[in-house]
């Protein structure tokens, strides 16, 4: 089908096949699908939604649009954690090295701020000289040597998602549950992980403010994980108040170091552990 025919089918509420979705995603990467067509697809999905089968097909197609990492020789579990974002959210900064210290391996591809919520990459970049733009070879080497590495999304990992996400950000379609779930899981599956913990923040200080929508997102992500034969656990975290006592990139880095050193606010320590 032509890209516009796929957009029209989704606009009219018809279910797309895995082949149609795969063709459209391939076109996003190759350039056969224009930015306008990709944006129209996102908007049609925002209003018409997706079946579970469509969301799974979109996720797997975006995962396979680039490099999928493999960790066959790792002596421990390869896992990751993702947060939907909230004020003062420093879980990734502390949990990843804690898991590595316990023998796990965490190849974490993180994101930037969304709305009023700070991003893990923005926080890390408040450290002078810290780089989040490592290539996949160096990323894999650091995971192997250190047990953990946090980087930003590269051009080689889920490139279709990177392009579609950029369009969603400027077309008012960020809030679509199937697009959120597919975006998160395409990157996480491309990491080659065995399991994932989704920390879904809910409340006035979170990106997800409604409990019902948060539960719907968790259900969608678990379904995609099940289809990909990955173990996914979801946790709902109250974000009606900031976590810890620090708000701001550099301040949150300092508090994270304090917690990892045995100090820090009690609520922050409890959540991480």
Catalytic residue among 10, 123, 163, 168: 168
| Sign of torsion over alpha carbons 260, 261, 265, 266 | positive
Q: How far apart are CA 124 and CA 107, in angstroms?
A: 16
Q: Of 10, 59, 63, 82, which residue is the catalytic one? A: 82
Look up 123 and say whether it is catalytic.
no
Q: Which of 59, 65, 117, 120 is catalytic?
A: 120
Instruction: Say whether 120 is catalytic.
Output: yes
Residue of 183, 186, 237, 256 with catalytic role? 183
Instruction: Verify whether residue 188 is a known catalytic residue.
Output: yes
Active site residue 168: yes
Q: Which of 81, 123, 162, 201 is catalytic?
A: 81
Distance (Å, whole) CA 268 – CA 228: 32
Annotation marks residue 201 as catalytic = no
The catalytically annotated residue of 10, 80, 201, 237 is 80
116 catalytic? Reply is no
Among 187, 201, 222, 272, the active-site one is 187
d(CA 141, CA 127): 22
| Dist. CA 154–CA 135, nearest whole Å | 7
Radius of gyration of the chain (CA): 18
Answer yes or no: 83 catalytic: yes
Determine which one of 63, 123, 188, 222 is catalytic: 188
Q: Which of 45, 65, 83, 117 is catalytic?
A: 83
**What are 252-256's contacts with CB under 8 Å, separation 24+?**
252/88, 252/90, 252/93, 252/118, 252/123, 253/90, 253/93, 253/123, 253/124, 253/126, 253/127, 255/90, 256/90, 256/93, 256/94
Sort strands 231-238 and 195-202 into parallel, antiparallel or unpaired: parallel
Give catalytic residue positions. Answer: 80-83, 120, 168, 183, 187-188
């Amino acid at each position: 089908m032509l890209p516009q025919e796929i957009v029209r089918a989704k606009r009219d509420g018809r279910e797309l096949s895995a082949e149609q979705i795969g063709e459209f995603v391939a076109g996003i990467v190759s350039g056969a699908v224009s930015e306008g067509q990709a944006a129209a697809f996102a908007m049609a999905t925002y209003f018409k939604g997706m079946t579970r089968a469509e969301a799974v097909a979109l996720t797997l197609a975006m995962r396979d649009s680039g490099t999928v990492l493999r960790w066959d020789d790792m002596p421990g579990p390869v896992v990751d954690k993702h947060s939907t974002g909230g004020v003062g959210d420093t879980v990734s900064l502390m949990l990843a090295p804690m898991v590595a210290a316990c023998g796990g391996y965490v190849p974490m591809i993180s994101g930037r701020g969304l709305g009023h919520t700070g991003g893990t990459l923005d926080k890390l970049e408040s450290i002078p000289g810290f780089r989040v733009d490592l290539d996949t070879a160096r990323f894999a080497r650091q995971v192997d040597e250190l047990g953990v590495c946090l980087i930003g999304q590269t051009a080689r990992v889920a490139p279709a998602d990177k392009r579609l996400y950029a369009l969603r950000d400027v077309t008012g379609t960020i809030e679509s549950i199937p697009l959120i779930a597919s975006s998160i899981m395409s990157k996480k599956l491309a990491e080659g992980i065995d399991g994932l913990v989704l920390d879904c923040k809910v409340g006035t200080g979170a990106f997800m403010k409604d409990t019902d929508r948060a539960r719907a997102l968790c259900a969608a992500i678990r379904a995609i994980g099940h289809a990909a034969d990955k173990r996914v656990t979801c946790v709902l975290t109250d974000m009606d108040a900031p976590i810890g006592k620090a708000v701001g990139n550099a301040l949150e880095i300092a508090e994270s170091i304090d917690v990892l050193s045995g100090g820090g606010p009690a609520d922050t320590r409890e959540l991480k552990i």
